[in-house]
Structure 1
């Protein structure tokens, strides 16, 4: 009888620990999802303009950079949100090869070649799509893909 009670307690404790571990991912957040979608659409629209002069698009670029700074700050303080926050930090880091890095290069070169724009747009779109998918579903497979992307950047 004591062995059955012990097994039951072990099963209960294991279930509790597993459920606590599952809670370490921030739950779905409508604001994060909506804001990420808005930033993605605005970013892609701006990336398409990078074959023109940077200075001609400065107002839109500065507005988007401000929106990115806001989402980074928002994501920073959500509990159990390290992965999404880290991805936004990479997107916002001008020394990386994603969004802010693209704008830095555009500024330095004044305008970019159509080939470079096309390649960069593909990479940035894929990264933002993965972030949106993860934010929408919070699935382990998407989490692993996001971790892999983060480790490459």
Structure 2
């Protein structure tokens, strides 16, 4: 009888430990609150980067010749901001896309605003801006590819919120 009781308690104890471990694992995953990998976001980030850097190369020429292309790219950027805004637990990506799309900041939309206002930009300015914008887009691409704490911290540092 004692042997039978100890086996039953042993089974109950093992099941209880398993359930507790499962609950702890589940609750720890909930605390991460990071959007899961999204293939569309990743592909669009790469596409916007490639299109942006190629179009930026033309900024040493007259803006008027490239206005249609710039407007098309800005539309893609706005779509991306809207898409990222509505994903759950996606504050970091959304914040980064917002900065890229803000014409009053010195990143992507700000670059194209300046090109439009000045008519054309110097090669030196264009080259420096490309480095900064490429870095910003690389951060979002890396974060979309692997949403880990390091990539999140890199974006937050870039945004100056860390």
**TM-score, length basis structure 1:** 0.89
Q: Deviations over 1:62-118 (max 9, x none)?
A: 100110111111111000011101100000000001000000111111100000000
Q: In the alignment, does 2:35 pair up with 1:21?
A: no
- What's 1:135 paired with? 144
Count of aligned residue pairs for this structure pair: 148
- What's 1:40 paired with? 49
- What's 1:63 paired with? 72
CA displacement at 1:15 relative to structure 2: 4.0
* Aligned partner (choices 87, 106, 131) of residue 97 of structure 1: 106
Unmatched tracts of structure 1, length 5 or more:
none
> Greater CA deviation, 9-18 or 73-82?
9-18
The structure whose Rg is larger is 2
* Aligned partner (choices 135, 142, 148) of residue 126 of structure 1: 135
Two-structure CA RMSD over aligned residues (Å): 2.0
Q: In the alignment, does 2:79 pair up with 1:77?
A: no
CA displacement at 1:149 relative to structure 2: 0.8
- Name the SS of the counterpart of 1:26 in structure 2: coil
Q: Hey, what's the Cα distance between the residues in 2 that align with 1:101 and 1:150?
A: 15
**TM-score, length basis structure 2:** 0.84
CA displacement at 1:20 relative to structure 2: 1.1
- Name the SS of the counterpart of 1:94 in structure 2: coil
